[in-house]
């Protein structure tokens, strides 16, 4: 049964991180535009021993394209939870690229020089602060006049009909969320207890991220590490001073 009220909160461990791999090139900022997406596909009861059933879990979409229950498999296929690591980290190269290439936009036709304020400056980007990523919401055509820096935080341009904007500030789960403590710590996702859940994991570079500039690719390789826990509170949250607690990863 697909009943989200029966599911338990799962938290991203605080030592989860994305870094430049040991054989990569540091200080290019390639790790700052990485995204890690977790998409739940379906699940079976934890006591299931049928390998073919477990490995063959799908959404089981019905005639309306909605997940359904077929046999022992409960289809899920809910919207992926996407983690944005290093949301406050910005290397000098990325900041300088942005300052040099972004101009305030004042009109729709981006092919006209008059549509930009060549003497102005875009919104600030500084290391240590988080900024939105205006992700692509649907297919973009040349006649849509979309600039990569469109949005209130950057070149300041918002379409006259905001509801038809092709870029929008995507609500990522960031490292800032990961490091919140106590009752402020948000769940990363929810899973059914006593179940085997199939989760697809996608690791990619977000082209719309303000840290994604041409020279970031020189970094070449990244290292992705993540863990999950059901424990919302850490030892520090409750000032725990008892026996050692086992690692929080599950």
Q: Are residues 143 and 23 in the same domain?
A: no
Place of tokens 């879990």: 57
| Total structural domains within the chain | 2
Residue 112, pLDDT > 50, answer yes
Q: Are residues 120 and 61 in the same domain?
A: no
pLDDT tens for each residue of 183-237: 999 999 999 999 999 999 999 999 999 999 999 999 999 999 999 999 998 888 8
Task: Please report whether residue 147 resides in a domain.
Answer: yes
User: Mean pLDDT score of the chain, rounded to an integer?
Assistant: 92
Task: Pick the last residue of a domain from 151, 171, 191.
Answer: 171
Task: Please report whether residue 77 resides in a domain.
Answer: yes
Task: Please report whether residue 95 resides in a domain.
Answer: yes
Q: Are residues 18 and 30 in the same domain?
A: yes
What is the dihedral sign for C-alpha 138, 140, 143, 145?
A: positive
Task: Please report whether residue 42 resides in a domain.
Answer: yes
Q: Are residues 44 and 93 in the same domain?
A: no
Phi-psi region at 190: left, alpha or beta (left = phi > 0; alpha = psi -120 to 50): beta
Q: Are residues 68 and 28 in the same domain?
A: yes
Q: Are residues 195 and 159 in the same domain?
A: no
Task: Please report whether residue 128 resides in a domain.
Answer: yes
Would you state the pLDDT for residue 211? 97
- Which residues 6+ apart lie within 8 Å of 53 measured at CB? 44, 71, 72, 73
Q: Are residues 79 and 181 in the same domain?
A: yes
Residue 1: band (very low, low, confident or very high) from pLDDT cuts 50, 70, 90? low
Q: Are residues 78 and 178 in the same domain?
A: yes
How many Cβ atoms sit within 10 Å of the Cβ of residue 210? 25
Task: Please report whether residue 215 resides in a domain.
Answer: yes
- The parent domain of residue 206 ranges over 4-84+174-229
Partners of 10 in the beta sheet?
189
Task: Please report whether residue 13 resides in a domain.
Answer: yes
Determine the average pLDDT of the residues in 82-105.
98
- pTM for the model stands at 0.90
Q: Are residues 205 and 220 in the same domain?
A: yes
Q: Are residues 155 and 179 in the same domain?
A: no
Extract the tokens encoding 152.
Answer: 């209130």
CA dihedral 72→74→80→85, nearest 10 degrees, is -50
Helix (H) or strand (E) holding 153: none
pLDDT tens for each residue of 27-82: 999 999 999 999 999 999 999 999 999 999 998 888 887 788 888 999 998 899 99
């Amino acid at each position: 049964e697909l009943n989200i009220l029966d599911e338990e909160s799962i938290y991203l461990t605080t030592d989860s991180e994305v870094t430049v791999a040991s054989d990569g090139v540091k200080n290019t900022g390639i790790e700052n535009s990485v995204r890690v997406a977790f998409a739940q596909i379906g699940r079976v009861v934890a006591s299931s021993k049928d390998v073919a059933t477990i490995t063959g879990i799908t959404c089981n979409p019905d005639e309306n394209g909605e997940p359904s229950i077929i046999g022992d498999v409960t289809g899920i296929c809910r919207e992926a939870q996407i983690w944005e690591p290093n949301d406050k980290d910005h290397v000098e190269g990325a900041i300088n690229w942005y300052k040099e290439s972004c101009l305030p936009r004042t009109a729709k036709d981006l092919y006209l020089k008059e549509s930009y304020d060549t003497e102005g400056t875009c919104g600030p980007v500084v290391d240590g602060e988080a900024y939105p990523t205006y992700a692509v919401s649907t297919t973009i055509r040349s006649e849509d006049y979309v600039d990569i820096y469109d949005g209130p935080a950057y070149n300041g341009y918002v379409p006259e009909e905001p509801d038809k904007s092709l870029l929008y500030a995507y609500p990522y789960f960031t490292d800032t969320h990961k490091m919140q403590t106590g009752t402020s710590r948000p769940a990363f996702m929810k899973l059914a207890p006593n179940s085997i859940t199939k989760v697809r994991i996608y690791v990619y570079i977000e082209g719309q991220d303000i840290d994604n500039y041409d020279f970031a690719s020189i970094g070449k390789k990244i290292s992705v590490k993540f863990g999950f826990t059901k424990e919302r509170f850490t030892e520090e949250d409750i000032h725990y001073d008892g026996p050692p607690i086992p690692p929080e990863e599950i």
